[in-house]
Amino acid sequence: MAGFRYHDVAPVDIAMIPHPSVTLLFDLSDNGVTYDVSGNPVTGNAIVGLSPDALRVASSGASEVLQVRLSPVIAAAIFGDPELLGGTVTPLAPVWGPRAGTLHDQLRAAPSWDDRFALTLQFLQGRASCAFAVAPEVAYAWGETVRYRGRLRIDDLATETGWSRQHLWSRFRSQIGLSPKRAAELVRFDHAAHLLAAGHSPVTAAFEAGYADQSHLHRHAKAFAHISPAAVASAPWLAIDDIAWPAR
């Protein structure tokens, strides 16, 4: 979880760098934060699925947002709907109903970020009992994809789970929201994005993240974030990530 506050009164419009997680965003500001995916805006509390296309975050002025990053395996148990895990942005209110409004009011009234984190954790733990859950084989495949930073072959993952490649592909896509290949590409890009943000050159980041060359990384940056690797390195959204910016 992370809490961040934008103090300036000037409007903000930034690209949200994709991350291999389902992101839950609580808008605690007065002005309202809008999340726009290819011209489809969602304002207020939202669920951002894995790898949304060209997601931008906009606000008309000072704002506060509490962000929760969830493994899709955990998010599946919390939300109970695999449709929310893929590349979509969904308003939170229709998913949780009045309970979302109650939690939102409690978070706004809480005296500190630590209190807000505690309230959010308690709420999510209470929600993690839905009937839908990913298969153990799919959970294993996701965990290994993250562990090896997207550099495992799908055939090897299938062999380790005891499933055929086609069966793993089908179940993974239906339960995680992405194909195994797309998930691996997202995890690899996230690793490269953190290397870029930490000051590594695009050439070094491409090599360390397992890309064929700098052009390969450039194509993935354009595909996932719609910006160049250089822009990824300085993206304001990564400024709230203590892994990308340990000194800040």
What pLDDT does residue 248 have?
42
What pLDDT does residue 232 have?
92
Q: Which residues pair with 4 in a beta bridge?
A: 65
What pLDDT does residue 131 have?
60
Q: Which residues pair with 15 in a beta bridge?
A: 56
Which residue, chain included where needed, has tokens 């959010």? 120
Give the pair of three-digit tokens for residue 155. Answer: 């055939």
What pLDDT does residue 238 have?
75
Min mean pLDDT across 35-49, 138-152, 156-170 is at 35-49
Percentage of the chain modeled with pLDDT above 90: 65
- If pLDDT is split at 50, 70 and 90, which confidence band does 38 have? confident
What pLDDT does residue 245 have?
54
The DSSP result for 147-188, as a single string, is HTTT-S-HHHHHHHHTS-HHHHHHHHHHHHSS-HHHHHHHHH
Model confidence pTM above 0.75: yes
The DSSP result for 71-131, as a single string, is -HHHHHHHH--GGGTSS-EEESHHHHTHHHHHHHHHHHH-SSHHHHHHHHHHHHHHHTT-S
What pLDDT does residue 161 have?
95
